[in-house]
Amino acid sequence: MKITEKKIKGLFEIQLSPFEDHRGFFMRTYDSGIFIQKGLNREWVQENHSSSNEKGTVRGLHFLNMPHTDAKLIRCIRGEIYDVVVDIRKNSPTYGEWVSVILSEKKKNSLFIPRGFAHGFCTLTNQCDIIYKHDNFYNKDFDSGILWNDNDLNIDWPINNPILSERDTNLMKFNEFTSKFGGLEV
C-alpha cells in the first residue's frame, strides 16, 4: 500500500498492492496500522455503495455541514471515475481549490478525503460502482452541496452535458456557500 499526499494538505491517494496469480487477485484495501503511521486512522462508522449505469453521470459536489462533516475513504470497484474534491475548510490556505483523481477498478486505488471537503465525481465508463467509508453518520438535515460546474471553482470536468439528479442541478454556487457559511470549521 503506497500513500501519497496530493497538492492539498490532508488529501491522500492510496495505491493498493494486489497479489495476483492465475486465480485472480487478493489485496488489502484498508490497514489501520498503516493508516495510524500516516496519521489517517479513523473509526469508520458507515459504508455506502453508489452505482451509476451510464458514462457521463455526475454526482456532487456534496458535503455535510457542521457538526456532521465527515472524512471519507473512496474506492471505485467497477469502472472508472473522475473524482473531484474541493477544499471548503474555513481559513484553509487552499480554500476553494480543487483536486481530481482518476479512481478505477484497474488502477486499484482509493482516495482519503479529510473532513471539510465537498466531493463529487463523473463516471468515465458505463457501470460504475463506488464504495465510501465514512467516519461520521449521515444526517439528512445537514446534507448540502455546491453546484458541480460553478464558474468560480472552474473545475476541469471531462464532460459538457452530464446526467444529473434534480437535486444536483439546483445546488448552491460557491460564492453563496462562502457568504452563508464562510467555510467549514474542522
- Residues with active-site annotation: 62, 132
* Domain assignment present for 15: no
Strand, helix or coil for residue 42: coil
* Domain assignment present for 51: yes
* Domain assignment present for 66: yes
Characterize the bridge pairing of strands 12-15 and 109-113.
Answer: antiparallel
* Domain assignment present for 29: no
List pLDDT tens digits, range 62-96: 999 999 999 999 999 999 999 999 999 999 999 99
The number of folded domains in the chain is 1
* Domain assignment present for 102: yes
- How confident is residue 186, by pLDDT bands cut at 50, 70 and 90? confident
Residue type, 60: G
List pLDDT tens digits, range 130-181: 999 999 999 999 999 999 999 999 999 999 899 999 999 999 999 999 999 9
Q: The CATH number of the domain where 119 resides is what? A: 2.60.120.10
State mean pLDDT over 116-142.
97
Extract the runs of DSSP E, i.e. beta strands, from 22-169: 24-26, 46-52, 58-64, 72-78, 80-87, 98-104, 109-113, 117-123, 128-134, 143-145
∠ Cα 158 59 181 (to 5°): 110
Beta-carbon count within 10 A of 41 CB: 14
| Nearest-angstrom CA–CA distance, 24 and 56 | 29
Contact present, 46 and 138 (Cβ < 8 Å): yes
Beta-carbon count within 10 A of 59 CB: 23
* Domain assignment present for 36: no
* Domain assignment present for 2: no
* Domain assignment present for 19: no
Domain that holds residue 138: 44-181
